[in-house]
Amino acid sequence: MTQTAHPDSVLIIDFGSQVTQLIARRVREAGVYCEIVPFQSAEEGFARLKPKAVILSGSPASTLDEGSPRAPQVIFDSGLPIFGICYGQQTMCMQLGGKVEDGHHREFGRAFLEIDEECALFEGLWSSGSRHQVWMSHGDRVTAIPPGFKVVATSANAPFAFIADEKRKYYAVQFHPEVVHTPDGAKLIGNFVHNIAGIKGDWTMSAYRAKAVQQIRDQVGDKKVICALSGGVDSSVAALLIHEAVGDNLTCILVDHGLMRKDEAANVVAMFKEHYNLHLIHVDAVDRFVGELEGVSDPETKRKIIGRLFIETFEEEAKKLGGAEFLGQGTLYPDVIESVSFTGGPSVTIKSHHNVGGLPERMNMKLVEPLRELFKDEVRVLGRELGLPDSFIGRHPFPGPGLAIRCPGGVTREKLDILREADAIYLDEIRKAGLYDAIWQAFAVLLPVQTVGVMGDGRTYEFVCALRAVTSVDGMTADFYHYDMEFLGRAATRIINEVRGINRVVYDVTSKPPGTIEWE
């Protein structure tokens, strides 16, 4: 399903910042639909989306470098409100007649904004003479503002920290309002989309559901669809949405590839057959997948093998059904962002995703991806809209490649079995402690390391198990969950005592900036 124009939307032009996705989250939190496009294709995205406002992101680049990113002139000619953030401010100034100098006055981290002038963007939020915390991350800085602009706020190292041309509805800031370290940043962005751009903020999951169902019907017609159902929230919501659109023309296929959590396949089959009127086929492909993965250590190679085998399996099942023209997938917006950097966009590619990148020509099928515009938390809201129970909606995310990427190094059946048991015990302890809903994702990892240990009177040489638990809202950024030592001791003791093959357990306390929170 291709992305189409929304009647009231915001276009975010990405110059390569690792927090551009957070701008999108803040806009959507304000009830407004938005899309991110790389600067190279911004003109095409502008024409397609027909937005009511434009936001320019930050960037690791310098506007002073030859060939550095620029916003397309069409947005300045459009008469629409524009909000430039960090690099976005600098390129606005450069393109509209101002000046930028190189990094003699770098500013990183917490800073304080002094409000010098009243501004329409401050309505109900800030007033002249007040002081507010913001988050800076810049080397270059603006040294002369374009004609028509005025300075409305400054910081210690940024004399043009907040500038505005109220007549043209142009606003530009040197700091990052999208990050949590700018406490009032989300409200500033909300003021921009509501008060300045005049967008109502009525983009809801109910409206999205109706639009998505109609788009699926328009795309599919009376043709058959097969849907990759893993039992996770994403694929389940996608399946229910497609089923609402095409009814019995949908067949769901659960590929049991041997990389699922303990008893996962059986539980998913039971749930969907008992509670939902979906045609579901359970394919036992354990030998096929695990056989090809054995000994493979590179995570990208694992993903590619799994993606290829998924496609081959679906192709075979489609033929058994007499042919299906469409393949439904639970691809999310972060999958697209992280996998391909928008096909040549400025951001660093974070990971490949087995759902992203299209299908081989021989398959002669078209993709139906009704969640491709949504973040993870939005999918959960849509799931509730579709009637999925909270107990299911709140399940921790589980990646398509499953345990294969939670088993760094060479994959073997024995290691997968060891990991599956350790993971089940870990999640059981989390549930018993009442922590499951407080954690966004938790899982065990079997490290490619064996250590000497003594258990009782015997010497062991077994694997190290790492435990991860993170808090997150949208799956784009994450911080580790702060367990107490009593819980960790209890979980580790059970794993060591009950799982043969593990003699040591460690806890991963890595926080994650925007990007994958999986272990690979």
Residue pair 499/421 in contact (Cβ under 8 Å)? The answer is yes
CATH 3.40.50.620 residue spans of the chain: 205-393
| CATH 3.40.50.880 for the 9-196 domain, yes or no | yes
Q: What sign results for the dihedral spanned by CA atoms 407, 411, 416, 422?
A: negative
**Maximum mean pLDDT: which of 96-110, 183-197, 300-314:** 183-197
Pick the CATH number of 412-507 from 3.30.10.20, 3.40.1030.10, 3.30.300.10, 3.30.470.20: 3.30.300.10
- Provide the residue count of the chain: 520
pLDDT at residue number 103? 61
Give 191-205 as a 3 state SS string.
Answer: HHHHHHCCCCCCCCH
Q: For residues 473 and 372, what is the distance between their CA atoms, to the nearest angstrom? A: 18
pLDDT more than 70, % of the chain: 89
Just list the catalytic residues: 86, 176, 178
Domain 205-393: homologous superfamily in CATH: HUPs (3.40.50.620)
Q: Between 1 and 297, name the one with better pLDDT.
A: 297
Q: Is 347 annotated as a binding residue?
A: no
pLDDT at residue number 370? 94
Q: Is 232 annotated as a binding residue?
A: yes
Task: Read off the tokens for 256.
Answer: 């049991």
- The DSSP output letter for 279 is E
Q: For residues 485 and 167, what is the distance between their CA atoms, to the nearest angstrom? A: 58
What contacts 429, CB < 8 A, 6 or more positions away? 487, 490, 491, 494
Q: Is 233 annotated as a binding residue?
A: yes
Q: Collapsing DSSP states into helix, strand and coil, what is residue 207?
A: helix
Q: Is 37 annotated as a binding residue?
A: no
CATH 3.30.300.10 residue spans of the chain: 412-507
Q: Between 365 and 95, name the one with better pLDDT.
A: 95
Mean pLDDT of 409-418: 94
Mean pLDDT of 324-331: 89
Mean pLDDT of 17-38: 90
Task: Read off the tokens for 233.
Answer: 């929230």
Band (pLDDT 50/70/90 cuts) for residue 519 is: low
Q: Is 185 annotated as a binding residue?
A: no
Q: For residues 353 and 400, what is the distance between their CA atoms, to the nearest angstrom? A: 9
